[in-house]
Structure 1
Amino acid sequence: MTDKILEVKDLEVSFLTYAGEVKAIRGVTFDVKKGEAVAIVGESGSGKSVTSQSIMQLIPSPPGVYKNGEIIFDGQDLLNLNNSEMEKVRGSSIGMIFQDPMTSLNPTMTVGKQIAEGLIKHQGLNKSEAMERAVEMLRLVGIPNPEARVKQYPHEFSGGMRQRAMIAIALSCNPKLLIADEPTTALDVTIQAQIIDLMKDLQNKFGTSIIIITHDLGVVADLAQRVVVMYAGKIIEQGSLDDIFYNPQHPYTWGLLRSVPRLDSKGQRLESIEGTPPDLLDPPKGCPFYPRCDYAMEVCVNHFPEETKITDDHKVHCWLQHPDAPKVDVPIKIGGANNEAK
């Protein structure tokens, strides 16, 4: 896969609040190839959802402001499109699954009408054709008895079925890119597994590119081919799934991996990352993770590290990669690797 369906270049997004300018996204650059699943991970407040909403131009203005950057989707910069032009892209070429289906679905409309709405608008189907397609979509996402379910309202669906309905809406116009913002957060583990399997099946069937926003590294391991790690509005590491899970290079990525429960470490306490993320009203000049980092050096305080290429796909922003930095072993055993705690 060499063709890129999406390129985000040096994106900067701020929110102008009564307290000042919140610099939510600060120079984010990544891409998504055709047919690829990319996961964006990080703690709450790291900028994951703002990044995904920026791609869809769902940031309310005011208070949101696009300060810099490009979002190139299928050859055109989405930031140059006006509202009517962007409406043709949303739901048609790019679909989105939101975090909470109960608040994302319209409680006053049947599920079938909500699926049919996009089909009528973007594909020019009449009402009866759109409703037939809505039944097909509910069947495709594994909802039993779709002929009856299509006439029901969201409150008559379980949590897992509502999420499946959201996926049906997002995929109804066969988009080239699907953005899933925490699609399994409110679901129990068995339903989570079903939703992930469903997304994998749909990706294989239609070749849809996927961006999944999550803090659950178990979901990442099961779905993504590439991982982008965000912290304080910046990308601090990105690489293939194997790069991030088997050869992580940033102390923040180490912390995320150490906080994941493992079946082979019975009886051990889960570790947390001490401290809190920085205030983005006044973000630090240097590495934003330095106040919480066990390996912080003087240079980390005032200078953000340049990008270091570990491989063509694996990139990291960390002063530990500098030739003059002290040697540090990865302080975690990952996937059978022989890295011992320092």
Structure 2
Amino acid sequence: MNKDYLLEVNNLQVTFKTNNTEVHAVRGVNFQLKEKETLAIVGESGSGKSVTAQSIIKLISEPPGKINNGSIFYKGEDLLTKPERYFSSIRGKEISMIFQDPMSSLNPTLKIGRQIAETIIRHEKVNKETAYKRTIELLKLVGIPNPEKRIDQYPYEFSGGMRQRVMIAIALSCNPKILIADEPTTALDVTIQAQIIELLNDLQQKLNMSTIIITHDLGVVANMAHRVVVMYGGKVAETGTVDEIFYQPKHPYTWGLLSSIPKLDSKEKKLIAIDGSPPNLANPPKGCPFAPRCPYAMKVCIEQSPGIVSSSDTQKTACWLLDEQAPITDTPETARIEG
């Protein structure tokens, strides 16, 4: 455990058993989170982003899920060695999570005020009156108007953006050290997405939290994160600062993600998609998981998993193209973003 990090995930491996099939959802993931830092975990659906995040606070249902290997250090202690009652005490208090769909995450039969206050009463050991005062303060903090009235309303009386703000209020109710936001803007229109991003940025600075953003949207990453973890096929393909990932990407999968971003100054009318489909993690490839879709793949990419190559103190990439014996391959024009 490195004392420079608030959270450190090492060689995390998670599987799910369904009937006679074992799905290797997360395969040796490593990353770190510093205090007051925003880390983005990026990748398409099925890359292992959400499973990795849920593993941090042991929200993986066992069975069918199982954390097979690895360590998750928080404040110097390995969370994976702790009993379930320990996680009940830190979920929401030390490490909190905003889930993807606010409508399905909120209880439709309970008033908003009660859903927020319950978390405060449970972890802060305060009376109902104090909890409701704190609830009104939280609703104000996340930008919900007339909170004194809103606490007595049900989730269906809130718009999608307002429900997401309620979810953020619940997650912040006990002043967590780490906030995990799983696709916090996915179901929202572009205008509301921008408001939620701005809100999370403001709250991160006001409350001095560390934040993990799970997303497939590189636009969210550009506006929020300090560092980025790019995942594919249950593995980490590349890590680096936002500037390194956007302006000096090294992995072909990162190139593909960047090439698919609409550019205002581009004359191309058609977006460039990544051909092919994600790997079947019930039978994961022995080589690089991106090799079947990679236009630069070599024989070794199919046969052997690449090692980690450091391009700087902060940028690390798992790709055979960075091997000294590989042919020189430059970042394609479509993936280049001018600084």
Fold in common (TM above 0.5)? yes
For 1:134, give the aligned amino acid.
T
Provide the residue aligned with 1:340 in structure 2.
none
The Cα shift of 1:108 comes to: 1.1
Secondary structure of 1:270's aligned partner: coil
Provide the residue aligned with 2:338 in structure 1.
336
Provide the residue aligned with 1:111 in structure 2.
112
The Cα shift of 1:19 comes to: 3.7
Ranges in structure 1 where 5+ consecutive residues have no aligned partner:
338-342
Distance 2:288 2:134 in 1: 50
Distance 2:79 2:109 in 1: 31
Deviations for 1:81-107, whole angstroms, at most 9, x for unmatched residues? 212111001000011100000000011
The Cα shift of 1:3 comes to: 2.9
Provide the residue aligned with 1:126 in structure 2.
127
RMSD: 1.0
Closer, same or farther in 2 for the Cα pair 1:266/1:111, shift >3 Å?
farther
Give 1:192-207 correspondences, 5 Å limit: 192-207=193-208
Distance 2:107 2:75 in 1: 30
Deviating above 2 A after TM superposition, structure 1's stretches of 4 or more consecutive aligned residues are 332-335
Note if 1:59 corresponds to 2:63. no
For 1:153, give the aligned amino acid.
Y
The Cα shift of 1:17 comes to: 1.2
Distance 1:134 1:43 in 2: 35
Distance 1:300 1:267 in 2: 31
Distance 2:181 2:75 in 1: 19
Provide the residue aligned with 1:320 in structure 2.
321
Distance 1:313 1:329 in 2: 20
Distance 1:5 1:266 in 2: 44
For 1:258, give the aligned amino acid.
S
Q: Is the 8 A contact 1:254 1:332 kept in 2?
A: no
Deviations for 1:285-323, whole angstroms, at most 9, x for unmatched residues? 110111100100011111111100000110000000011
Provide the residue aligned with 1:177 in structure 2.
178
The Cα shift of 1:336 comes to: 1.6
For 2:48, give the aligned amino acid.
G
Deviations for 1:110-146, whole angstroms, at most 9, x for unmatched residues? 1111111111011111001000100000000000000
Distance 1:268 1:107 in 2: 43
Provide the residue aligned with 1:244 in structure 2.
245
Closer, same or farther in 2 for the Cα pair 1:19/1:260, shift >3 Å?
farther
Provide the residue aligned with 2:256 in structure 1.
255
Ranges in structure 2 where 5+ consecutive residues have no aligned partner:
none
Distance 1:199 1:312 in 2: 28
Distance 1:332 1:279 in 2: 30
Distance 1:332 1:294 in 2: 14
Which range moved further: 52-61 or 328-337? 328-337
Give 1:251-290 correspondences, 5 Å limit: 251-290=252-291
Q: Is the 8 A contact 1:139 1:146 kept in 2?
A: yes
Distance 1:68 1:267 in 2: 45
Distance 2:11 2:194 in 1: 34
Distance 1:332 1:143 in 2: 44
TM-score normalized by the length of structure 2: 0.98
Distance 1:30 1:332 in 2: 29
